[in-house]
Structure 1
Amino acid sequence: MSRQILCRDNFRFKQNGVSMFKFSREFADISFDQMLICSHPDLIDTEPDRLCRLRTAFTDQGFSGRATDEAVICDYLVSLGRSYSVANTHRSMLSQTLELLNCNVCLNSKRISRVIKGLFNENPPMPRYVETWDVSKVLIYLKNLPCIETLSLRDLSLKLVCLIALTTAQRCQTLAALDVDSMSWSGDTCTFYVKALLKTSKPGKSSTVVKLYRYEKDVTLDVLTVLKQYLSVTRKRRKSRKLFISYKTFDEVSPSTISRWVKEVLSAAGIDPIFKAHSTRGAASSQAFRAGVPLRDILKTANWASARTFATFYQRDVSDGSVFANSVLQTAA
């Protein structure tokens, strides 16, 4: 069966749709290029610098797979920077990898554990956001845009991607994977069946389903109306069956492009630039929670497995510190 080289330096090959590293159990002759790492297929493309650093640590420093090589592991974890979460994630990856290679290094040894604890004490992990932005600001901006029939393809693309992001609380990766061939219309509902491999994809889990619903109270914010206009404008020009295409080349766009589009809308709406495109998940779901939407429906829509994930990483309030300060100072009036 033919094997297709996917990236430079022969890091991995693809066989039957599964990406993997070359593998050998002869550790004395093994190099980093020959390791089998059971991870997401996009790992090589998204983190080449860290992987090259790992290869350097394992080859240049003479890693042999014996228990005495704990110092090499510690040096590598420290070289990643002062982030506890990054070092702990790489320790988990190494634990799985070295187990496949029958190595004797214990990643939970006292020495390695103390290095990880030291990184935690030096730079404790903090949430990216302690509060979220006001969804109404973005909706008002989208509502005040000109009629969709007169919008340029660029503005129409940005409006649609932001409406879908807010009404579904999906990742940019999921939005980029939406396909017009996997789109189904039923009354006032449009359903997308995502067949691509996503961050949350795993064996035994059903594919992601994204549903869009009609909003009759305000046609300017009706995602289905904007979607139909977008499909009509791009029908004869599109070079890809993906829903979102470039307004310049008319070919499919990557998740990073979707992210950039969302950021442009947030910036135009006056949202603080510290918020990334991914913050739409937290902002939309937090707004739905404050509006009284059942937690079960929020988890299902955003594709979260547990309420703990939502409460820990996404549920945030729209804070206005001036309300407290003004209420205190008004007592002198």
Structure 2
Amino acid sequence: MLGRGVNGTWSPGLARAHLNILELWAVFFALKHFLHFLQGRHVLVKTDNSVVVAYINRQGGTHSLQLHKSARVSHVPGVLNRGWISYHEEIHCTRERVPVGQHSLVCHFMKGARRKLPVSRPLIPLWDLSVVLDALSHHPFEPMEAVGMKFVSLKTVLLLALTTAKRVNDLQAFSIRPSCSQFAPGGTKVCLRPNPAFVPKVVESAYRCPTVELLAFHPPFSSGEEQRLNTCPVQAVQVYVSRTVGFRKAHQLFVSWATPYKCKPLSRQRLSHWIVEAISLAYKCRGLQPPKGLSAHSTRGMATSWALFRGVSLQDICAAVSWATPHTFVRFYRLDVSGLSLAQAVLEVNTPGSVLLLTGWICLWPLQAYALQEWSIFPIVKH
């Protein structure tokens, strides 16, 4: 229309209508307004509403052959709708030509709102990591070569969620293509990459799809049985891939084991359910009641909090989970996993003849060591 434009406001009656109806009315009123320019011409309407596109191209409710011949609609993604973006910015600028979101009064107001309504988050873990890891190293999750595919799948996805602290959509994107999954000789480590077409929530500047490298977790086992029944993520992924290679029909790492969706790629929702089910089942196997309110995203806070407590630097944690600054971790994810409070530490000074020690193992690569903790009372021996 050679730069011509028109705008207006909705009447009270139309303002209550559905957005798709308003988009259709907007096209109708625009065509009606410029009718004297459009007579005898073919019209191409560009809109970012797919319903409008389908309605007009499929002759809508009128099924008019004349309309179908005279008008065509093409869909424009919202992010590419530069005309709307510039118009939107124009009408939302202040007198000082400053965007509303950058105006000093708005910034002060939003800062005050954050202070009045601070972010509410749990301060203590909702579930016990040591209980879950202990259950994963016993029946019905072990031995992985012999137990049902359900338990192999649940154990693998939970270990991968804990040792990478990745979001569910990142876990879903892992692929078993030769270019995306590589095991080192002897099962010492595995390198996992997401599908090249995957676009993560946070796009890193160096490379879009970073490699996740997991090292084998081998604490000093006390017996051969302990060595066989362990929580090594590399072994879990290796066994899972070998047991699914015979029936899988997709390159996605996690595929469904249950009918009627067996062999098919797993959705994000189902992957989240797997993680929650794995935690709940681990509690039940230990004879405990699963906590209420479990979520798959809780593994992210649990993993990063334990990594910080066990000596992993904030820089390594942020790099592993794609956080630009530590503020995200401190504000939304950090949990109190230290065990002893100040009051407990002070009061236990009066406990005669004993000292509280924390024993366990830790591997110092980022986010991959979560040994079972054992709180034990040892007598003080005087010489």
Q: Which category of TM-score, normalised to the shorter sequence, fits these structures?
A: 0.5 to 0.7
1:184 paired residue number: 182
2:191 alignment partner, SS class: strand
How far off is 1:206 after superposition?
A: 3.5
**Which amino acid in structure 1 is aligned with residue 128 of structure 2?**
D
2:374 paired residue number: none
Q: Does 1:276 align with 2:295?
A: yes
How far off is 1:151 after superposition?
A: 1.5
- The percentage of counterpart residues that share the same residue type is 26
2:208 paired residue number: 206
**Which amino acid in structure 1 is aligned with residue 298 of structure 2?**
S
1:306 paired residue number: 325
How far off is 1:253 after superposition?
A: 0.7
Question: Is the Cα contact below 8 Å between 2:199 and 2:208 reproduced in 1?
Answer: no
How far off is 1:101 after superposition?
A: 3.8
TM-score (norm 2): 0.56
Partners in 1 of 2:21 and 2:204 — Cα distance? 31
Per-residue CA deviation, residues 288-308 of structure 1 (Å, 9 max, x unaligned), is: 111112333222222222222
Q: Which runs of 5+ in 2 are unaligned?
A: 11-15, 27-82, 94-99, 220-226, 284-289, 351-383
**Which amino acid in structure 1 is aligned with residue 209 of structure 2?**
S
Q: Does 1:251 align with 2:269?
A: no
**Which amino acid in structure 2 is aligned with residue 288 of structure 1?**
A
1:81 paired residue number: none
Per-residue CA deviation, residues 158-214 of structure 1 (Å, 9 max, x unaligned), is: 000001111111111111000001112234111112221111126664322212211
Per-residue CA deviation, residues 24-79 of structure 1 (Å, 9 max, x unaligned), is: 99563899xxxxxxxxxxxxxxxxxxxx999479879x9xxxxxxxxxxxxxxxxx
1:104 paired residue number: 91
**Which amino acid in structure 2 is aligned with residue 235 of structure 1?**
V
Change (3 A) 1:58 1:250: same
How far off is 1:227 after superposition?
A: 1.5
1:293 paired residue number: 312
Partners in 1 of 2:246 and 2:319 — Cα distance? 35
How far off is 1:232 after superposition?
A: 1.4
1:44 paired residue number: none
Question: Is the Cα contact below 8 Å between 1:134 and 1:318 reproduced in 2?
Answer: no
Question: Is the Cα contact below 8 Å between 1:164 and 1:212 reproduced in 2?
Answer: no
Question: Is the Cα contact below 8 Å between 1:25 and 1:101 reproduced in 2?
Answer: no
How far off is 1:152 after superposition?
A: 1.1
**Which amino acid in structure 2 is aligned with residue 263 of structure 1?**
V
1:128 paired residue number: 121
Change (3 A) 1:110 1:200: closer
2:7 alignment partner, SS class: helix
**Which amino acid in structure 2 is aligned with residue 186 of structure 1?**
A
How far off is 1:311 after superposition?
A: 2.1
Change (3 A) 1:232 1:311: same
Question: Is the Cα contact below 8 Å between 1:214 and 1:224 reproduced in 2?
Answer: yes
Q: Does 1:147 align with 2:143?
A: yes
Question: Is the Cα contact below 8 Å between 1:179 and 1:243 reproduced in 2?
Answer: yes
Question: Is the Cα contact below 8 Å between 2:200 and 2:208 reproduced in 1?
Answer: no
Partners in 1 of 2:6 and 2:168 — Cα distance? 40
How far off is 1:102 after superposition?
A: 4.8
Higher helix share: 1
1:233 paired residue number: 243
2:91 alignment partner, SS class: coil
Partners in 2 of 1:210 and 1:295 — Cα distance? 18
How far off is 1:257 after superposition?
A: 1.3
How far off is 1:247 after superposition?
A: 0.7
2:41 paired residue number: none
1:168 paired residue number: 164
**Which amino acid in structure 2 is aligned with residue 199 of structure 1?**
K
**Which amino acid in structure 2 is aligned with residue 233 of structure 1?**
R
